[in-house]
Amino acid sequence: MTQAMPQRRSSRQICWLIATLVVAGLTASEALPFLYTNARTPINWTQPELDDWQVEVQPRSILPHVELKRHANRTNSQPADSDAEFLERLRALRQNRTSPRMLWYDAAAGDGLTYPPFVDKALKLFNLKQVAFEIENSVLSKVSCTACKAGAGLLQHYIKSGKTDAELMKMIAQYCTNLSIQSPRVCEGVAQLFGSEVIYVLQRVNLGPDELCSFIIGDGCGDVYNPYHEWEVVFPPVPKPPRLSELPMPLEAAPFFKVLHISDTHYDPHYVEGANADCNEPLCCRLSSGRPANPNAAAGKWGDYRKCDTPKRTVDNMLEHIAETHKDIDYILWTGDLPPHDVWNQTKQENLEIIKETVKQMTEKFPGVPIFPALGNHESAPVNSFPPPYVNQVDISINWLYDELDVQWRRWLPQSVSHTVRRGAFYSVLVRPGFRIISLNMNYCNNKNWWLLLNSTDPATELQWFIYELQSAEFSNEKVHVIGHIPPGHSDCLKVWSRNFYKIISRYESTITAQFYGHTHFDEFEMFYDPHDLTHSNSIAYIGPSVSPYYDLNPGYRIYYVDGDHDTTTRLVIDHESWIMNLKEANLYGYPIWYKLYTARAAYNMKALRPSDWNKLLNDLTDNQELFEMYYKNYWKNSPARPTCDAECKKRMLCDCKSGRSHDRRHFCADVESKIDEGSSKSWKNWLYRGLSNSYSLISSITYLPKYLLSYG
């Protein structure tokens, strides 16, 4: 029986780009002291030119945007000029520096790469697949940390040695291919798509591998102090309202909103039934994946549990099912990631076409229903590339995406949000009197967004704008729901950004009544606590399941019931349901059946869905193995491909639930881990005791057998 940890799904921005440089750096560490030296050139930070965008003078949504329908049977309610000076200093440093020769690069052989015997041996010892797996799934360890430092150091060395961008990208593709990290076409695509961006950024920062990898990987690579990526948001001088000892429970039988949550569609327009689902590339089930080796390797009609995204027929069927089954939806939360996982082969134009097509599809399936979208990390090309506003050169600016989002989202959003959508793809809308939805662009916390290495200080001034919106909502006695793509406690979220966000949630806990995210593809939740009192839970983040089965998952979506329009409304989530389609049965019988997997309050025996109720559930999941197994089944959307979950797996999962602040697990998870360890120890001791007791009983019974059986007679 195999054991595996729950895999955190995330895109692979430069997984292979870094991995291609990893081995070379590790195997030549002694010959390349620049990778591991303690003597580092002092950092000379260049602050990018900031714009003069002012939060408080921007227009706001102040009129209720949604007119509720009455449903039968219920009441519902440009880099800075100083860059040139900085690059000149790098050139001066290079002229006075002796760079060790790359032992595996044979200049006499032209573009060829040679590997000495000791490098060849080291390649076999180094677990390159482990690095690729960890980066793909955002479960990062010291293996990935060492790999990151080696790869980043080596790439920086090549940049400083004066190689051109074309030479660097060609070398990256060659390493990737020669080391069999990916197929040649994937290696070439990764080098071309991501290489120029990474090179551009690394030419403009003076951080060593330790700082770079601590920034990218987080607590998996040590907490290296970096003063140039430490910053704090500013709060207005307004006292925090007194917190309630316990939030009131929503009234039973009161008006409510019925809300649909769709996330991570990852629609693949090139999915082909019968194509190879077991290919050696990041995304399969396409004609380009080749022929399947046997019938079992063929892609299913409605999708596949292997590395395949969602066929159009499955998206169509799901939307038709929702429109038919849930005719009384009041509004929709749509938390991003529309394009597929072919991250080596994407173009801006193709991603825009997918966005346009899915927006058109949603509009047609749900006419007249308000939709509140959030931007995913896959919408950009290349994936995870979201330059802040100060990066405004035409060829690398993100305006191509944000301008189109403003056009497409205008179908559902008021005109007043256009300025923030075009600036940073975030917005705030007053949905109903006293109720506001704020959509955040979580790509500004994405540690795979390499542009943040230039300057991570509140990109696009999003968090300062967020505080302004929340303070205005507090003054107006509004309750707020926050939506986004990457959960703020996820390892893909930058530590300094997440820490500031956590403070904001704590300050405005009386205003923010729920948060909604996607990204992980699993069905889960995330807790928030008072930073100074971890016994006080102050917010809950609902992480909705993916439509995409990528990978080992069933497609799914969520329905929330939110406290509606009445005099004592709390705007809390009253209950939620998760609906799924059994992909195995759909492919077997030729037609999908969508069904309700569970309802939160009934499944977990919860009085309500307040933060305190979720905190109690978290404690129950730690102590009650049977309850945890139910949660684990729902987490995987009842997938028959889910792995077993041992004690380490359980610790990771529950720690994820408790950590609304990223890369700070030691601060939040000690009690959960100790309880699980204690329970595992008891289980082991009980097993051993029962085994010894049974053995003793058996031996004792033998002594009473007749003597002739014991050969005494």
pLDDT of residue 477: 97
Tell me the per-residue pLDDT of 567-595, one tens digit each, with 9 for 90 and over. Answer: 999 999 999 999 999 999 999 999 999 99
**Distances, alpha carbon 524 to alpha carbons 430, 554, 600, 657, in Å:** 27, 14, 11, 7
Tokens read off for 440: 């955040």
All residues at 6 or more sequence positions from 107 whose CB lies less than 8 Å from its CB, including other chains: none
Tokens read off for 334: 């749509």
Tell me the chain's radius of gyration from C-alpha atoms. Answer: 27
65 labelled binding-site residue: no
Tell me: pLDDT of 122 over 80: no
In terms of phi and psi (left: phi > 0; alpha: psi -120 to 50; beta: otherwise), the region of 573 is: beta
In terms of phi and psi (left: phi > 0; alpha: psi -120 to 50; beta: otherwise), the region of 180 is: left
Secondary structure of 322-353 in the HEC alphabet?
A: HHHHCCCCCEEEECCCCCCCCCCCCCHHHHHH
278 labelled binding-site residue: no
Tell me if 319 sits within 8 A of 362, measured CB to CB.
Answer: yes
Tell me if 582 sits within 8 A of 94, measured CB to CB.
Answer: no
DSSP-assigned beta bridge partners for residue 537? 529
Q: Is 103 exposed, middle or buried (0-12, 13-18, 19+ CB in 10 A)?
A: middle
127 labelled binding-site residue: no
Tell me: pLDDT of 78 over 70: no
With H, G, I as helix, E, B as strand and everything else as coil, classify residue 677.
Answer: helix
Tell me the per-residue pLDDT of 89-104, one tens digit each, with 9 for 90 and over. Answer: 444 444 444 333 333 3
Secondary structure element (H or E) that encloses residue 666, with its range = helix 665-668
How many residues appear in the chain? 713
Tell me if 402 sits within 8 A of 421, measured CB to CB.
Answer: yes
Question: If you average pLDDT over residues 60-82, what whole number do you get?
Answer: 65
266 labelled binding-site residue: yes
pLDDT of residue 138: 53
Alpha carbon 443 to chain centroid distance?
Answer: 10
Tell me: pLDDT of 423 over 50: yes
Question: What is the rounded average pLDDT for all residues in the chain?
Answer: 83
Tell me the per-residue pLDDT of 228-261, one tens digit each, with 9 for 90 and over. Answer: 789 999 999 999 999 988 899 999 999 999 999 9
- The secondary structure of residue 427, as a DSSP letter, is E
Closest CA to 630 of 655, 658, 597: 597
pLDDT of residue 35: 36
> In the chain, what are the domains?
115-221 (no CATH), 256-271+309-675 (3.60.21.10)
519 labelled binding-site residue: yes
pLDDT of residue 211: 87
Tell me if 335 sits within 8 A of 485, measured CB to CB.
Answer: yes
pLDDT band at 418 (very low <50, low <70, confident <90, very high): very high
Question: If you average pLDDT over residues 534-547, what whole number do you get?
Answer: 96
pLDDT of residue 89: 44
Name the one residue in this structure whose structure tokens are 């995406």: 401
523 labelled binding-site residue: no
Closest CA to 647 of 685, 690, 676: 676
In terms of phi and psi (left: phi > 0; alpha: psi -120 to 50; beta: otherwise), the region of 461 is: left
pLDDT of residue 704: 42
pLDDT of residue 131: 52
Closest CA to 29 of 176, 148, 150: 150
Tell me the per-residue pLDDT of 445-500, one tens digit each, with 9 for 90 and over. Answer: 999 999 999 999 999 999 999 999 999 999 999 999 999 999 999 999 999 999 99
Tell me if 406 sits within 8 A of 421, measured CB to CB.
Answer: yes
DSSP 6-35: PPPP---SSHHHHHHHHHHHHHTTTT-GGG
pLDDT band at 326 (very low <50, low <70, confident <90, very high): very high
* Angstrom distance (rounded) from CA 568 to CA 402: 38
Tell me: pLDDT of 163 over 80: yes
Tell me: pLDDT of 393 over 90: no
Q: Which residue has the higher pLDDT, 276 or 102?
A: 276
How, if at all, do strands 594-599 and 573-581 pair?
antiparallel
pLDDT band at 297 (very low <50, low <70, confident <90, very high): very high
pLDDT of residue 699: 52
* Angstrom distance (rounded) from CA 347 to CA 368: 32
pLDDT of residue 224: 80
The model carries a pTM of: 0.82
Name the one residue in this structure whose structure tokens are 């080391």: 179
Tokens read off for 587: 């492919």
Longest CA pairwise span in the chain (Å): 104
pLDDT of residue 540: 98
**Distances, alpha carbon 494 to alpha carbons 86, 131, 497, 533, in Å:** 26, 20, 5, 23
Tokens read off for 85: 């000076």
pLDDT of residue 226: 80
Tell me the per-residue pLDDT of 206-226, one tens digit each, with 9 for 90 and over. Answer: 888 888 888 888 777 877 888
342 labelled binding-site residue: no
DSSP-assigned beta bridge partners for residue 427? 439
Question: If you average pLDDT over residues 639-650, what whole number do you get?
Answer: 95
* Angstrom distance (rounded) from CA 22 to CA 114: 16
pLDDT of residue 696: 52
Tokens read off for 152: 């980043």
Alpha carbon 435 to chain centroid distance?
Answer: 27
Tell me: pLDDT of 354 over 70: yes
Secondary structure of 195-210 in the HEC alphabet?
A: HHHHHHHHCCCCCCHH
* Angstrom distance (rounded) from CA 132 to CA 147: 10
pLDDT band at 663 (very low <50, low <70, confident <90, very high): confident
